[in-house]
Amino acid sequence: MALKQTIRLQKFLADCGVASRRKAEELIAAGKISVDGMIITEMGAKIDPESQVIRYNDTLVTRQHKHIYILLNKPRGYVTTLSDPQGRPIVTSLLKNVTARVFPVGRLDIDTEGALILTNDGNLSQEILHPSFETTKTYEVLVRGIVTESSFTVLERGIELEGRKTWPARISKRDKKRNSSSFIITIHEGRKRQIRKMCQAVGHPVITLKRIAYGQLRLGSLKSGSYRMLKQKELKKIFL
């Protein structure tokens, strides 16, 4: 008799394009996933996809055999969640001709614009988001005030945020105007509102923030609110 092939529930949800593995764990903890009619909240629970019925909010979850990858230029005013109780516009509403269920890889806060990858490939999402891969993200930043060289050095070396120091950052293309400063910053962490908090910590609140690249995958001339499908060879640029 053949042994059943079991898989961790959060990995199955990610493989099916429900959410990234990290987000899938949140869905499980919130009691939104059932297996054979029973709500599962235990982390690490294993299931047999061939013989068990898995549902997310009462919707049947099945594997999607074709992975798709989208690069979106997220406008300000959109949230990077699949639903919003406050009724704010969500990024997936911008995907007019995409029938597959995709989710954002990571997040950009509502006031931040720029490059956002959406996919139904949970494994790729895990690789981009997991700290061990040290995937870089690059941003254009405009802040209030004139940033001094010493403040740039502090940003580059790392800042204590909420009891933990940020990893070193790379800063380039510095430009100072009358009442503001702009620069390009590259980090490989993904803490919530990290760059805004870093700039606030050195006394320069962010005016505008735009992500322009994941690794060497650049936003380029893609217009705000527009998106394009990514080819397999382009995905390698994410990790360069």
Residue 193, both tokens: 């509102």
Residue entry with tokens 């009442």: 179
Structural domains for the chain: 7-60 (3.10.290.10), 69-131+219-239 (3.30.70.580), 136-214 (3.30.70.1560)
Residue 21, both tokens: 């593995």
Q: Is 109 an active-site residue?
A: yes
Arithmetic mean of pLDDT, 167-182: 94
How much of the chain, in percent, has pLDDT values that exceed 90? 53
Alpha helices in the chain (DSSP H): 9-15, 21-29, 122-129, 149-157, 194-201, 232-235
- pLDDT score for 65: 64
- pLDDT score for 3: 46
- pLDDT score for 64: 66
Half-sphere exposure of 210 (CA within 13 A, CB side): 18
| pLDDT of 62 above 80 | no
Lowest mean pLDDT among 20-29, 162-171, 216-225: 20-29
- pLDDT score for 20: 78
- pLDDT bucket at 53, cuts 50 / 70 / 90: confident
- pLDDT score for 127: 86
Is 222 within 8 Å of 199 (Cβ atoms)?
A: no
Give the single-character DSSP code of 108: -
Arithmetic mean of pLDDT, 22-34: 88
- pLDDT bucket at 191, cuts 50 / 70 / 90: confident
Catalytic residue among 36, 48, 84, 109, which? 109
- How many residues in the chain? 240
Q: What is the mean pLDDT of the chain?
A: 89
Arithmetic mean of pLDDT, 52-61: 84
Lowest mean pLDDT among 92-101, 145-154, 210-219: 92-101
Task: Look at the alpha carbons of 127, 92, 218, 179 in this order and tell me if their dihedral is positive or negative.
Answer: negative
Determine the straight-line distance between the first and last CA of the chain, rounded to whole angstroms: 46
Is 21 in a helix, a strand, or coil?
helix
- pLDDT score for 169: 95
Residue entry with tokens 């800042």: 159
| pLDDT of 198 above 80 | yes
Arithmetic mean of pLDDT, 19-25: 82
- What pTM was computed for the model? 0.76
Residue 42, both tokens: 């235990």
pLDDT digits (tens, 9 = 90+) for 81-137: 878 889 899 999 999 988 788 889 888 999 999 999 999 888 888 888 877 778 999
- pLDDT score for 1: 37
